[in-house]
Structure formats: C-alpha cells, structure tokens
Amino acid sequence: MISLDGLEFGYAPGQSVFKDFSWRAEPGDAWAIIGPSGCGKTTLLYLLAGLRRPRGGRIAVAGEALAGPRAATGLILQDYGLLPWLTARDNVGLGLRIRGLPRRQEAEEVSTWLERLGLREAAERYPSQLSGGQRQRVAIARTLALEPDLLLMDEPFSSLDAISREDLQDLTLALGIEGQATTVLVTHNIEEAAYLARRILVLPRPPITRAEVIENPRGGRLEYRREAAYFAVCDQVRQAIERAQSPAALEAVT
C-alpha cells in the first residue's frame, strides 16, 4: 500500500531529514510512527499525504507514484481542522459535498456517522460550542465518511485529557478501521502506539537512513491494554526510542 524507495528530503540545502530511506506498509496494516522529538514523524506523514514533495527517491501509494494529495487518503490532524462557521453536521459533510455527492445521500451518510460517533445531540452546534473530544470526533467522522483506503493521523488525541484520549482510542478500534484501511498514526505516546498499532516504526534522529520496526501482532484490540504482552511491548518501544537517540546503538540493532 505504501512504498518508499530511497527517500530524500530536507528543509534546507545541505541538510537531510531522510537520506536514502526505504519503508513498506501492506494493505490493511496498522502502523504507529514514534521517536525522539524533532525526528521527522510529522514530516514523513505529510510526505505520505502528498503535502510535501521529496527531493529524491520515490513514494508510491496503492501502486502509483505519489505526485500530490490523493482523494482516497484521509488525514486527521491534532488541531481538528474544522471550519468554525459550519455546524458539526456541515463539517462532517464537507468532504462529501466537495465530491459532489447528491444532497439526500450526503445527509444520510452524515447522519450515520454522527450516530456512530455519538454526535447526534451536538449536530447543530458550532466547533466553539463543542468540547475537545467532540471536535475530534467531528474530524474523525468527516474523514471516515470519505471511506479512505489510507488513513493518516497526526497525534490526533494528544491535546485531550487522559479520559477523553482513552475513550477516542477505544472508539477508533471499535469503528473497525483496521483492516478496512491502511492506518499510519504519528504519536509521541508509547502506550498509544502499543495499543493502536500492530507494527511500530521507531525513527532515530536525522538524517534518517533506516529505522527500527517493532512487531506488535496483538495490538489493535480493545482488551489489549490489560494484557502482559502490551506492557512488554511498551517497554520494548521505550528501549528502542533510547537506542534511537544514539546512531551507534541503532546501527548495532539494524
């Protein structure tokens, strides 16, 4: 589903965030990307979204070279990205309207997603009248209504309190996104990465030429947070992040 070959990217001449970096993600995979602050997690996500262009190498999504944003890619941002002058209902339906879906069909789709995400009572409220958790639910509903085959999430729960964050993590799993779309979650939270993803990409500090992958096959299940394997993976990720701080330590592992 995702193929990066010899990726080269930097924000300034002579500086590299990614240098001859390659990575693969299969259809239906659930990935988390984690690493030290400033390591390029969000940069990689924006490259996958087609919002930034590499200066070398190749990015392919669903077998086609990526030249810019694609219609079947969904992006959920930390700051929600809601239009303040639209109600929750209209924000959810925005992408469907842009696609030209007939109004009756759009209304049915929007009502379905409002119901699934527990937003029916808040449908006519504006973003300023919603809690942080409700605003993020609207952002999730707007994206999933488009039925993406690739779902990119940039720290979508980090601005929420602990209870709201866990509630939305559980909701994400309950919606059954995994398996229907390839998901890539950028997070700085070790526990979140271990809970939501089945494979975890630990990025080192730039310039990034390779990264450690941690397999987490039991991830992505509602009951996983209470299992011993979950805590073991959390510890494994923590150690990998510590290694990522030292290029020599990472070289010894990879």
Beta strands 30-34 and 182-186 are parallel
Mean pLDDT by 10 residues, the chain (254 residues): 93 88 92 90 94 93 91 83 91 88 88 87 93 86 87 83 80 67 91 93 93 93 90 95 71 48
Residue 17's pLDDT is 93
CA distance 49 to 22: 16
Q: Which three-class secondary structure state does DSSP give residue 236?
A: helix
State the DSSP H helix or E strand holding residue 44, giving kind and residue range, or none if neither. helix 41-49
| Residue pair 235/72 in contact by the 8 Å Cβ criterion | no
As beta bridge partners, residue 18 has 9, 208
Nearest 5°: CA angle at 154, between 153 and 157?
A: 90
Residue 34's pLDDT is 95
Helices and strands, number each (H, E), in the chain: 9, 10
Q: Give the domains, in start order, of the chain with CATH numbers.
A: 2-72+150-253 (3.40.50.300), 79-147 (no CATH)
CA distance 248 to 115: 51
First to last CA, the chain: 23
Residue 72: which of 168, 143, 156, 155 has the closest Cα?
A: 143
Residue 177's pLDDT is 60
Nearest 5°: CA angle at 196, between 3 and 93?
A: 80
| Residue pair 96/145 in contact by the 8 Å Cβ criterion | yes
Q: Residue 43 CA to chain centroid, in angstroms?
A: 12
CA distance 81 to 134: 13
